[in-house]
Amino acid sequence: MDLYMSSTQTSLPPKLAKIVDRFKRRSNPKQKYAQLLHYASQLPAMPESVKTEENKVKGCVSQVYITASLENGKICYQGDSDAQLVKGLVAFLIEGLNELTPEEIIKIKPDFIEDTGLNVSLTPSRANGFFNIFQMMKKKAMGFHSGAAE
């Protein structure tokens, strides 16, 4: 039983597992928000030219954009949001998923979102947005995976 319960954590790529663990250790929602705002402040600026309908995350109350490029077989994401907390969620996912192969990203199950405890701290629409951002990043990874003839 113990092995089954911890399977989510062990199946995560190291950088993502480290971030999830960081959020797990913060029991106070205010600390979790502070951590998200810190991530938001670290997110590199995204060029306005790529904030297009194609890169917009559907199902988010705020404006969220995600782009992905493939460099040396690894995905490099860029993202932005007009809401600081959501921008923190974008930064969290970019930090955890950048420089992974499409195959590694496709294998990740969204259970880690619950492991962070953020789904309890966030409003239902933000928690749903977090899931939608992750799904968009996964979808972009699948696009590289299916077209990976390089």
Identify the pLDDT of residue 60.
Answer: 81
Q: What 3-state class would DSSP assign to 110? A: coil
pTM of model > 0.75: yes
Identify the pLDDT of residue 147.
Answer: 56
Identify the pLDDT of residue 9.
Answer: 45
Where in the chain does DSSP place strands (E)? 64-71, 74-81
Tokens representing residue 82 in the block: 């007009």
Which residues constitute the domain of residue 128?
2-146
- Residues marked active site are found at 60
Identify the pLDDT of residue 59.
Answer: 86
pLDDT averages per 10-residue partition of the chain, 150 residues? 38 94 92 95 96 93 95 96 96 97 95 89 88 96 70
Domain total of the chain: 1
Instruction: Give the list of residues 6+ apart from residue 120 with CB closer than 8 angstroms, or none.
Output: 29
Identify the pLDDT of residue 8.
Answer: 42
Q: What are phi and psi of 147, to 5 degrees?
A: -105, 20
* Crossing angle (nearest 10°) for helices 29-42 and 84-97: 70
CATH of the domain at 24: 3.90.1010.10
The Cα–Cα gap between 7 and 15 comes to 16
**Residue 10's CB: how many other CB atoms inside 10 A?**
8
Identify the pLDDT of residue 146.
Answer: 65
